[in-house]
Every structure is written in structure tokens, then in C-alpha cells.
Amino acid sequence: MLTSVDRLLFVREVPIFNELRDDFLIRLVSIMDEISFPERHTILTEGHEGRALYIVVKGQVKVHRKDGQTLAELDAGACFGEMSLFDAEPRSASVTTLEECDCLILTQNQLYEAIDETPGIAINIIRLLSRRIRELNKDLQDKRQAAQEPPRQPDFMYGSEAQDMPLSAAAMADNGAYALVDENAGFPYGSFPH
């Protein structure tokens, strides 16, 4: 178990709290509970309701989906469950301990009481959530770009683009497009024009 001073120093390094003024931080740290979990204990279950944020003090946890997909492994100083402090949605993932873990817990009721007393706490949490959304959007955009197929050759080319192509034949349509035709593949309307 952490002493009050150790708890304050530890929580100050957690990203969601590191920009808080000391008086705000002292208020939050004083209301957090500390709890220990055994190895392979499921702290949060995907689909279940939850109303608490957890900070890993000691040990390691795995964030995962029901289908077994691991989303992240979190070490001391990481937090999880923060979204549930603000919405009534079910948990989007499960969190299971990989070893014996100690966590600090901040419940929704504790946070709301602290926000009533010190509204600056809410601004820091909003900043963290905004930063996470931006990071997730960038990751998603990067993954989409990486997954894109190379540009496809167009089915039709216009003007001089088609004239320079090394093909067996090119049939010109009324709109100025060339239909590129391979002599060996057959002509769609009967015999290949020569």
C-alpha cells in the first residue's frame, strides 16, 4: 500500500492527472481507493456496466476483447476504464491481470464530487480524452492508407493516353474514350476488327 505522499507522487506521473494543480491532485488522491487483484483476475468484463477508472500501481494487465484479441498490455502508471466515468455505455473491452496487481480506483461518484469542488479536474480529463480520440483517428487513418490497394489502371483512357499504349487494338467511343482491347481475348461484339 502506498503512503499518502507516495500516492501523490505516483498519480502526478499518470497522463490523465499530470497537468492538475497540486491542490486538485491532492483532493483526488485522497479519495481514491487502493485494491489488490490476484493473477488472472478479470477486473472489467466487456459488455458489463462500470463506473470507475483504474490506475495500475504495480503489476501488469491485459486489455482484450471477448474474441481473444489483445488490444494492449498496461504496466504501472497506466490507467483504464476512464470512459465509464462519463457515459452509461457497457465496457468496450475486458481487463485481466497478467500477474498480481495493485490498482488505485476512482469511482464516478468520487470524481463528480471532486469536480463540483474543483472544476479544473474536468478540463484535464477532457484534454486526455480528446488526445486519445485524435491518436485513435490518426492510427485508423494510417491503417487505412497502408491497407489501400495500389491505384488501379482505369478501364478507359482519353485522347493521347490510350494512343501511346502498347496494345493490340484500341476502339474509340463517341465520347473520345478508347476501349483497350486485347486481340487474343476476343472482341465483345463478334470478330476482332482489323
Question: Is residue 192 very low, low, confident or very high in pLDDT (cuts 50, 70, 90)?
Answer: very low
pLDDT of residue 161: 53
Q: Comparing C-alpha atoms, which of 121, 97, 79, 126 is closest to residue 36? A: 97
Contact 136, 92 (CB under 8 A): no
pLDDT of residue 83: 80
Count of other CB atoms within 10 angstroms of residue 55: 25
Per-range mean pLDDT, top range of 35-39, 105-109, 149-153: 35-39
* Packing angle, helices 120-147 and 108-117, rounded to 10: 120
The structural domains of the chain, ordered by start, are 4-147 (2.60.120.10), 156-185 (no CATH)
Contact 74, 60 (CB under 8 A): yes
pLDDT of residue 187: 46
CA neighbours closer than 13 Å in the CB half-sphere of residue 88 = 0
Burial class of residue 20, CB neighbours in 10 A (0-12, 13-18, 19+) = buried
Residue range 87-108: mean pLDDT, rounded: 93
pLDDT of residue 168: 45
The model's pLDDT over 102-128, given as tens digits with 9 standing for 90+, comes to: 999 999 999 888 888 877 777 877 777
Record the pTM: 0.65
